[in-house]
Amino acid sequence: MKLIEAKDYHEMSMLAAEVILDQIKEKNDSVLGLATGGTVLGTYQQLILDHQQNKTAYQHIKTFNLDEYAGLSRQDENSYHAYMKKHFFDEVNIPFSQTFLPNGEALDMKAECENYDQKMEELGGIDLQLLGIGQNGHIGFNEPGSSFESKTHLVALEQSTREANARYFDTIEDVPTHAVTMGIATIMKSKKVLLLASGLQKSSILYDLFHSDVTSSIPATILRDHPNTIIIADQEALSKLHQDERKMFAK
Ligand code: GLP
């Protein structure tokens, strides 16, 4: 894991967008793994700005999102389908048919999950996976205790995750209890991983990410075993790490 320290949220977003743009420059038909949440929003804004200014082309890019709430329709404003459309897909020239998210309303969820993993493989696998991190160390919606062998699957959300995400809903009761997520094995298959973290509320989990052994009780620690992981975090998120440690992890 290589750490890149950013001053603040804005700088983190700019640095993250640079990593993604380098990937697109290197391979204009890259398969990108995308994430939702507050952390990655600024990165999408930077990519949109770049698209407007530099005309970076997305017509050959394919995208797979990490996760989707179970039981929400694509049109629901809290669905990750709606998030991606609003905050990214509608603003760049990516053909809608090349953007994939799990269908949270699938009647046969097992088949839906298998097809999702299969589609990823057919398109050559994910070149770069963008990730946020939950305060409990979840990646995608792989909550503590998730198997490292898991592929895309249906999960029950922890109450703490529902509470953390309740800010987007009218009431906590409206937050779905389940979600479909790429599994840890799915995420680990991507050739490169880019994890972002910002703010004091992520400082404890970032400390654990760098200090704990690899353990399924902190799912993100598996990234230590990935050969090509970049973590871009801002000073608040890194505030529990000593300066010397930050330098050491930056190498
Ligand atoms: C959500 C998403 C994750 C995201 C995480 C952090 O539950 N499923 O993919 O990384 O929580 O979200 P935020 O960036 O809003 O803190």
Relative orientation angle of helices 80-87 and 41-54, to the nearest 10 degrees: 30
Q: Please tell me the pTM assigned to this model.
A: 0.96
Residue range 174-221, pLDDT digits in tens: 999 999 999 999 999 999 999 999 999 999 999 999 999 999 999 999
pLDDT score for 34:
98
Antiparallel, parallel or unpaired: β 62-65 and 153-156: unpaired
pLDDT score of 7 more than 90: yes
Q: How far is the CA of 72 from the centre of ligand 1 (A)?
A: 17
Pocket of ligand 1 contains residue 141 by CB under 6 Å: yes
What is the average pLDDT value for the chain, to the nearest integer?
97
Nearest-CA residue for atom 3 of ligand 1: 140
**pLDDT (0 to 100) of residue 185:** 97
Please give the pLDDT value at position 71. 95
C-alpha closest to that of 196 among 244, 232, 172: 232
Of the candidates 127, 143, 234, 236, the residue annotated as catalytic is 143
Q: Residue 233's pLDDT is what?
A: 98
Residues of the chain with pLDDT > 90, as a percent, come to 97
- Ligand 1 atom nearest to 179, measured from its CA: 8
Q: Is 237 exposed, middle or buried (0-12, 13-18, 19+ CB in 10 A)?
A: buried
> In the chain, how long is the greatest CA-to-CA distance?
52
Whether residue 251 is predicted with pLDDT greater than 90 in this model: the reply is no
